[in-house]
Structure 1
Amino acid sequence: MAAQELHPSTPSSLYMLSAFLAMEPAESLVAFARVCGEGSVTEKVQRFIWDHCLSKADGKSHAPYGRNFLKKLITEVELNHGVVLDELYEQYAYYMTSLKDDNLVKGNARVCKFISFLFPDGCSGLPSCPNSRKLVVPLQCSLNMLEGDTGCSVWPSSLFLSEFILSFPELVSNKSCFEVGSGVGLVGICLAHVKASKVILSDGDLSTLMNMKRNLEYNNLNIGTAGPGRVTEGPNMVKCIHLPWESASESGLQDLRPDVILGADVIYDPVCLPHLVRLLKILLTQKKSCSQKQNDSWQGSLSDSISVDDKVNHINRWNANEKDDRLDGKVNGAKQANTNASGDGFDACGGKTIWDSTSSCGAREGPLAYIAFIIRNVDTFNQFLSLVDQANITITDLTETLKPINLLPYMQSYDRSKISIWLTLSIAF
């Protein structure tokens, strides 16, 4: 693309703008700037950055990030003997004189990131695709992902699960959905966007829950509560509950009865895993009402299409080179659940089901759960597998069967290749 054609809607400039709003690493933004300038950060590219990125940043919430980005951008231009716009020098000087380093990294600093889901050409027929082919989700989140504020950070699996929902809205549209460990609320916002009939989000940390509610308000969603004797309904309603996994009980969850359970990056703490699996089992064993059962025909066809062997309780594909005989040989590393499946499930962007959806309604009367995760510790993951096996929960791997559309092409820090998604099909009695 020629530099004179720079416009927020053209791909390279759209990617650069989206990356800036999502606070992607400065190196990524500089790389996009080079593409916009056909190999160098020209004055026209700098003008675009000033007009559409820096001058519109909302005050000091972007200041530390903007300072780092400007430092790398100015260095890039100067090293290539280019001319730096005066506005960029002045803004960088402002950052240098007004910000103190000690305030940039300490404490649970919160910033507002804008996650832009960009639907590629041909997606107009997908129910989740806006007319603009862009869904922008503002999120207040933390910069301290690994230092005591994990619930207020945007984790990779939540991005993946959100892409999954937007790519396959038929899985959750018109269904009651419940998410465990909802964090910043991104998955719930996407569930509301695709018109899930009910969205209930949960978290065990009160500060995380408060931040999540704020994000729902940012996205023009109404906040309700759910629990025994407390049910709030209404348009654009998302319910939020405080749910520490260790205190979850059947009686406390009896009114929820979700069709779909979701979780992103919830397999991380060995101490929490027994409570998580117990919670999943409670939710998975709840029976549906007659009105809920009518939505099961598509899910029944999914089970038929991937030819799941009922004798195999768990299927793991996380590492084809891993030699693993865990669970007494019931799970073999890298075994694929979809060996008999054909196609990707949906035409790219078209939303058209490839599988035959004529299976009988009510083939499975319990809910389904979709869990997206990254294996960070093999021992923790093996513990999860063992607990799931003890709970008689049948799992299959959908990572290759249902690949979501790449709706975050500008997010170079997000490595989807490390993420798996599993479907819990049933409780085996």
Structure 2
Amino acid sequence: MTTPTVSEKERDLKTFRDYFFSMSRLASLPWNFVEEKLVGSKSSEVISQILNETCFHRLCSEFPPSVRYRRLFLSELIKREEASGLDPSDHLYDALAQVIGAAETTLCYKSYFLPGGGAVTLQENVAVISEGTTGLVTWEAALFLAEWALDNQQYFNNRAVLELGSGVGLTGITVCSSCRPSEFIFSDCHPRVLHKLRENIALNKLDRQAVRVEELDWSSVTEERLAAVRADTVIAADVVYDPVVVETLVSLLRRIVASSRADVFVCSAVRNPDTYRGFTEQLEAGGIRLEVLSDPVTRIFPCNTDSHIELIKLHQKIPQ
């Protein structure tokens, strides 16, 4: 059996931390590492190390993942420990005691660790669809767009940034925490989403002078309102999910591209190819050229999806 190097061990412990706090699929965790360490050392030391990075991490006391997720996570650790022939450790039972009998709630916290230190912490709804909207949870394209922003900070540093359909705020808060936008305008149209956005902005202690949260209805926003934003960069993630709203979204993007010099980016998890194809065809029919950005992105955040994610930059077509 090969003993993991220090760097491998640190990597695996970090993976447990990152996946635990983002409430990623338990099956994605490196359980083989745990089993090998338990069998090889005949001690529960690795369990204690994992617990220190998860349930006993300082972030968990203030912003814990859901009760159900923590129960399932601890149950998996117990299974691995028992399968190795070891008795479950007191440390593990101390963690379990914190969640046994704890009441389930409709809200939870998810945290995403940043490469420069610190983390983006979001309060989200446990249910994917809640209060008539899907905007109260983080979606895959928002994670990808945030990672792309960290690799391409020239589009955000010292610029006014407008985000369409901000949801719970993962992309925007990452940009505000790691880049230096002169101004960042979060926007959405659902009252509960706007309320949650403001809570998450306060939770992450963003500079109130540099950020705004605005209600922006794509179907009724005026040219004057768009001009007043004066955005240098416009971003949107996971907004192409419903054929009903695609026409309204395309109309808005056409107006933005035609009336400003802003760099405009749309990131989508392509779950329904027909819906996405309809979106891109309507853009092209409306005089917008699409540039697919395919350069590799430094992956930072755990992501539970096999969906194809496409990032496009929009340009106004030059008349022939």
TM-score, scaled relative to structure 2: 0.87
**163 and 4 in structure 1: CA distance in 2 versus 1, 3 angstrom threshold:** closer
Letter in 2 for 1:85: S
Secondary structure in 2 matching 1:369: strand
Tell me the distance in 2 between the aligned counterparts of 1:191 and 1:250: 26
Letter in 2 for 1:183: G
Contact kept, 8 Å, 1:397 with 1:421, in 2: the verdict is yes
Shift of 1:271: 1.0
- Deviation string 1:127-154 (CA, Å, 9 cap, x unpaired) is xxx3xxx341111112212454421211
Q: Choose from 154, 160, 163 the match for 2:147.
A: 163
Letter in 2 for 1:65: Y
Match of residue 144 from structure 1:
127
Query: Is the aligned partner of 1:34 residue 2:34?
Result: yes
Shift of 1:98: 3.9
Match of residue 44 from structure 1:
45
Letter in 1 for 2:55: L
Q: Choose from 201, 204, 207 the match for 1:216.
A: 201
Shift of 1:239: 1.1
Letter in 2 for 1:277: V
Letter in 1 for 2:253: L
**36 and 63 in structure 1: CA distance in 2 versus 1, 3 angstrom threshold:** farther
Q: Choose from 287, 292, 305 the match for 1:397.
A: 292
Shift of 1:191: 2.4
Query: Is the aligned partner of 1:273 residue 2:246?
Result: yes
Secondary structure in 2 matching 1:81: coil
Q: Choose from 75, 86, 92 the match for 2:79.
A: 75
Q: Choose from 101, 113, 116 the match for 1:97.
A: 101
**80 and 242 in structure 1: CA distance in 2 versus 1, 3 angstrom threshold:** same
Identity %: 25
Root mean square deviation, CA, Å: 2.8
**4 and 253 in structure 1: CA distance in 2 versus 1, 3 angstrom threshold:** closer
Tell me the distance in 1 between the aligned counterparts of 2:249 and 2:174: 23
Match of residue 259 from structure 1:
232
Tell me the distance in 2 between the aligned counterparts of 1:98 and 1:396: 50
Shift of 1:242: 0.6
Q: Choose from 111, 114, 137 the match for 1:114.
A: 111
Shift of 1:264: 0.5
Match of residue 138 from structure 2:
154
Tell me the distance in 1 between the aligned counterparts of 2:112 and 2:216: 26
Letter in 1 for 2:304: S
Letter in 1 for 2:316: S
Match of residue 299 from structure 2:
406
Tell me the distance in 1 between the aligned counterparts of 2:167 and 2:159: 21
Letter in 2 for 1:115: Y
- Deviation string 1:311-336 (CA, Å, 9 cap, x unpaired) is xxxxxxxxxxxxxxxxxxxxxxxxxx
Q: Choose from 304, 315, 318 the match for 1:425.
A: 315
Unaligned stretches of 5+ in structure 1?
119-129, 224-233, 288-365
Match of residue 272 from structure 2:
377
Match of residue 175 from structure 2:
191
Contact kept, 8 Å, 1:267 with 1:373, in 2: the verdict is yes
Letter in 2 for 1:34: V
Tell me the distance in 2 between the aligned counterparts of 1:116 and 1:40: 30
Letter in 2 for 1:78: E
Secondary structure in 2 matching 1:138: strand
- Higher Rg of the two aligned structures: 1
Letter in 2 for 1:391: G
Contact kept, 8 Å, 1:269 with 1:380, in 2: the verdict is yes
Query: When you count helix as a share of all residues, which structure comes out higher?
Result: 2
Shift of 1:199: 1.0
Tell me the distance in 2 between the aligned counterparts of 1:157 and 1:25: 17
Contact kept, 8 Å, 1:372 with 1:419, in 2: the verdict is yes
Shift of 1:38: 7.4
**284 and 96 in structure 1: CA distance in 2 versus 1, 3 angstrom threshold:** same
Unaligned stretches of 5+ in structure 2?
none
**277 and 3 in structure 1: CA distance in 2 versus 1, 3 angstrom threshold:** same
Tell me the distance in 1 between the aligned counterparts of 2:237 and 2:203: 21
**95 and 218 in structure 1: CA distance in 2 versus 1, 3 angstrom threshold:** closer
Shift of 1:26: 2.3
Tell me the distance in 1 between the aligned counterparts of 2:216 and 2:99: 41
Tell me the distance in 2 between the aligned counterparts of 1:83 and 1:238: 52
Letter in 1 for 2:179: V
Match of residue 19 from structure 1:
19
Equivalenced residue count is 312
Letter in 1 for 2:238: D
